[in-house]
Structure 1
């Protein structure tokens, strides 16, 4: 059994992380799962939450809003719609975005807008809890 596997997390803006990993804990929509070397192939939709990456040198948390995880025996690729490295997040900025979203929710005039803003608020709350 290999000691590590290739891990890559890509957002539309950039590659957030590309490294060898010993273990990655992923927030899937059907529950959290852990990827280890030689993991069985699987594709999963991501839930908002923190991906916990353990490399030979460090541990890192990466918040994902949504996306997909593609696991093969020797790699894990995360395609995230929006992602932030937890240590780089400014809690004050997240709080400002949360306040603005809550004001927008109060003035939303249709169900579709309220649902969209409500999802954004839940994601911001989850990110704020990790920051």
Structure 2
């Protein structure tokens, strides 16, 4: 018996990151992780920054997503994300540099010595750590 599939599309303002038939998707929903199989009920939800995982031909794959929305309907899952990357697209040295900069900005904001925006610095740190984690998957 063949696995049931559906179309998964991941789109950012700059590009179409993924358009493929998959068996399963797990996404970082606003209220926690969301798992989607074929014939899932219609759904629209916000996404948090995190790892979007999907299964194609029995193989698990990962992408980064930095927020956005996920919609399920008509045999298709559409992810509209602010940014998304495949593991092979991540420059690990750039991600490590971004992590160090974000950690420094967080320390400056906590000490009150800099006009650093703590929320932006924390988001930058989350994104850098996410990119580092997903880059190891490839």
1:49 corresponds in structure 2 to: 50
Q: Answer yes or no: is 1:121 the counterpart of 2:125.
A: yes
1:95 corresponds in structure 2 to: 96
Are the aligned partners of 1:39 and 1:73 in contact in 2 as well (CA < 8 Å)? no
Instruction: Please report how far the alpha carbon of residue 72 of structure 1 lies from its aligned counterpart in structure 2 after TM superposition.
Output: 1.0
Matches within 5 A, 1:15-34: 15-34=16-35
Instruction: Please report how far the alpha carbon of residue 58 of structure 1 lies from its aligned counterpart in structure 2 after TM superposition.
Output: 4.0
Distance in structure 1 (CA, Å) of the matches to 2:43 and 2:114: 39
Q: Which TM-score applies when normalising by structure 2? A: 0.82
RMSD, aligned α-carbons: 1.9
Q: Which runs of 5+ in 1 are unaligned?
A: none
Higher mean C-alpha deviation, range 75-84 or range 88-97: 88-97
For these two proteins, the number of residue pairs brought into alignment is 128
Distance in structure 2 (CA, Å) of the matches to 1:86 and 1:108: 34
Runs of 4+ in structure 1 off by over 3 angstroms are none
Q: Which TM-score applies when normalising by structure 1? A: 0.86
Distance in structure 2 (CA, Å) of the matches to 1:75 and 1:108: 46
Instruction: Please report how far the alpha carbon of residue 104 of structure 1 lies from its aligned counterpart in structure 2 after TM superposition.
Output: 3.6
Q: Which runs of 5+ in 2 are unaligned?
A: none
